[in-house]
Structure 1
C-alpha cells in the first residue's frame, strides 16, 4: 500500500495508493510523493494564511528589493552592535556624562560580556535587537532616582529609561546591574 501515515490518518500520496502495492520499482516515486505531500501539500493552507497576514504588514512588491538578511533586519532588527555609539547617544536625567556614577556605569558596561550587554538591551528596550538603521536610532536615558546603593537598577521599557541608583563602587554596580538584567531574563522564561 502506498499511503503515508500523517496526523493520525493515512493519506494517499499516489493515486490509487490504497490498492497499489509498494515495490522496489515504484518506491522512488512513492518517496518523492511523500516528500511533496509533507513539504508542500500538507502545509499549503497554513502557509497561505501566514502569507496573507504577512503581506498585510509588508507590501509584496517591496519584497523583490530585499535580500533575506536585509528583510530579517527590517522585520526584527539587527545585531550589528556598536557599544560606543550607545554610550554617545545616551541622555541623562539628574545625571551628567561626568557624574561619578555614570563614569562607573560605562566602565562596568564596557567590561560586560556580549550576552550581558544583550540582556541589558532587553532590560531597557524589551529586545536585544537594534533598529536596521543602527544604534544611533535608539533613545536611551539613564535617570537618577530615589533608590539607594542597596537597591537594584530598574527599567521603564516604555520610556527606554534606566533608573540607576547612585552607586559609588564598580563592584556594587556590576553585581546589582547583572542581577537585575538576569532576573528579567528568568522572569521571561516563566
Structure 2
C-alpha cells in the first residue's frame, strides 16, 4: 500500500507510510497509535467514535490512514472554508458563480497562468513610437530572449499582475511610450501600472536597453513611477 504523492504534504507522512508498510504486529503495538490526532492548539480529536480507545493494528491501519487523511484535507478545514465561502458570497453575491467549474472560477479570479508572448506583442499600443523604430525592434528582440520567469516579472511590473486577466489575452494590451528624456541612456524604463504604460527611453543600443530593462525587472521598484 502507498499514500501516493499527496502523502508528501502530511506532517506525519513517514509515520503513516510506515504504518501501512509494517508487517510486524509487535512493531505496530509499540507505536502506541490510536484513532486520534492532535490539532494545532493541542486538543485531541477522535477520528471515529471512541477512537482514543481503538489501537491501530494490521487489520484496521488502512481505515486509520484513510480517516486521518480525510480529517487533514477535509474535516479540519471545513469550518474555515465555510467561513470563507460566506464572506466570498457576501462580497460577490452573484448566483451565476455556481455555473462555473472550480478551474473556470479560478481563471476568472486569478487570471491565466500561461501567456502568448507573440500575441502580447501584437496587441501593444505605441505612443511617440512606431513599431518599426529601432528601439522597439531592440526591445522585442531582448524581451523574447528572456526566460519565462523574467517575462512574467516584466508583466507584473507593467500591469500589476504576472497573469493575464480572466477575460482573455485577446483583449489584453499595454502601451509603450517614449518619455522623451534627454540623455536616455542614463534612465531606466518605468511603468504606470494603473494605465498599463511602459515608458521606454530611446536607448542608443540593444546592449544598453537589455542592461537597463533587466535591472528594472529585477529591481521592480525602479519600474514604479514616483
Report TM bin, short chain. 0.7 to 0.9
1:43: Cα distance to partner?
A: 1.5
Bigger RCO (CA 8 Å, 6+ sep)? 1
Q: What is the number of equivalent residue pairs in this alignment?
A: 184
Task: Determine the structure 1 residue equivalent to 2:29.
Answer: none
TM-score of the aligned structures, taking structure 1 as reference length? 0.80
Task: Determine the structure 2 residue equivalent to 1:3.
Answer: 36
Task: Report if the CA contact (8 A) 1:80-1:134 is conserved.
Answer: no
Q: Cα RMSD over matched residues?
A: 2.7
Runs of 5+ unmatched residues, structure 1: none
Instruction: Give the Cα–Cα distance (whole angstroms) in 2 for the partners of residues 159 and 128 of structure 1.
Output: 15
Match 2:199 to one of 148, 152, 163: 163
Query: Structure 1 155/16 Cα, relative in aligned 2: closer, same or farther at 3 Å?
Result: same
Match 2:130 to one of 91, 96, 103: 96
Runs of 5+ unmatched residues, structure 2: 1-33
Task: Determine the structure 1 residue equivalent to 2:9.
Answer: none
Give yes or no for the alignment of 1:22 onto 2:55: yes
Give yes or no for the alignment of 1:72 onto 2:110: no
Give yes or no for the alignment of 1:81 onto 2:81: no
Task: Report if the CA contact (8 A) 2:36-2:44 is conserved.
Answer: yes
Task: Report if the CA contact (8 A) 1:14-1:30 is conserved.
Answer: no
TM-score of the aligned structures, taking structure 2 as reference length? 0.69
Query: Structure 1 116/13 Cα, relative in aligned 2: closer, same or farther at 3 Å?
Result: closer
Query: Structure 1 174/54 Cα, relative in aligned 2: closer, same or farther at 3 Å?
Result: same
Match 2:68 to one of 34, 37, 54: 34
Match 2:98 to one of 63, 77, 99: 63
